[in-house]
Structure 1
Amino acid sequence: MSTPTLTAVLGDITTQRVDAVVNAANTAMRGGGGVDGAIHRAGGPAILADCIRRFPHGLATGDAGWTTGGDLPARWVIQVVGPNYAGGQRDRALLASCYRRALEVADELHAASIAFPLISAGVYAWPKTDAVDAAVTTLRATPTHVRDVRIVAFDAATHRMVEDRLARKEQPRTMDR
């Protein structure tokens, strides 16, 4: 195991040509809005069918599991449930667990490449600067066999934030509460 190459990508996670894309799902695992909705729309009904089969009772916040990639270029979707900051789930360890668990699942699948969205930073309202820091810090600190790790940003401002954080090697800042 080693440290993967981390890159910031500006674009649509559903078009990434990687072994696995990470979906920021909800606990019910039945589709939703944001990244979750985009992945389900692009991947087709096979993803939802696999979610229902594999996760009949959903998935806990901070955990991860995998489904087919359906019609996506990626073979697999690694489903993670991020904490809902707006709903009062503010334990950063749960957010870090999403990234760590996704890499563990990727290793189980023998995936060499993976694309992450910025988990919990959309409708779940995790403060974006801290979300970026949690992603980069956790991905750098988690031993994995995955070689290519992408953080995919849908807009230019977020892409710049990820690039800037990747350029810094220092310890993470703590989030102001």
Structure 2
Amino acid sequence: MVHLTAVLGDITTQDVDAIVNAASTAMRGGGGVDGAIHRAGGPGILADCIRRFPDGLRTGDAGWTTAGDLPARWVIHTVGPDTRAGQTDPALLESCYRRALAVADELGVRTIAFPLISAGIFGWPRQDAAAIAVRTILGTPTRVSEARLVAFDDAARALVERELSARTG
């Protein structure tokens, strides 16, 4: 079973095999986590997105690119549901975590860092996003040994820690 921890920090500085990007369907960079990853990783990430995903990705799906100038080796991009566009089915958000872990297994990733997918500009309620993230990561069979949920503020980290405590004792 994967060892999951809550971390306060910047996902772009995590020293892991792969970081997960909360991308848009176009896969061309954007705001929030997506913009931070593209800025920190440099133009190689966008070039790889364009080459590997000319038509983008569907909500709930995932794929990988180079990590450019980031400490990680890969970026696993996943498209979370956008509540502002009426995408409120929790199965879509669960799919993001499951598909990211499946891609990680394909790549041989042992350490991975996730953001709270869809909990920013896509409007998913943060408490529910934390619960779905923890439940899905812990409940998905994977060869990943260490996963981090990287929170950008103390409140998000506290939500993740509460969910972890409730699930793992």
The TM-score normalised by the length of structure 2 is 0.98
Aligned residue for 2:156?
Answer: 158
Aligned residue for 1:69?
Answer: 67
Deviations 1:3-44 (A, max 9, x none): 100000000000000000000000000000000000000000
Deviations 1:91-114 (A, max 9, x none): 100000000000000000000000
Q: How does 1:121-132 map to 2 (within 5 A)?
A: 121-132=119-130
Q: CA deviation at 1:169?
A: 1.9
The amino acid across from 1:124 in the alignment is: F
Q: Per residue, is there more helix in 1 or in 2?
A: 2
Aligned length: 168
The structure 2 residue matched to 1:26, chosen from 24, 27, 31, is 24
Aligned residue for 2:89?
Answer: 91
Which structure 2 segments of 5+ residues have no match? Answer: none
Which structure 1 segments of 5+ residues have no match? Answer: 171-177
Aligned residue for 1:59?
Answer: 57
Structure 2 SS opposite 1:31: coil
Seq. identity, %: 69
Deviations 1:61-101 (A, max 9, x none): 00000000000000000000000012210010000000000
Q: How does 1:86-125 map to 2 (within 5 A)?
A: 86-125=84-123
Aligned residue for 1:35?
Answer: 33
Aligned residue for 2:77?
Answer: 79
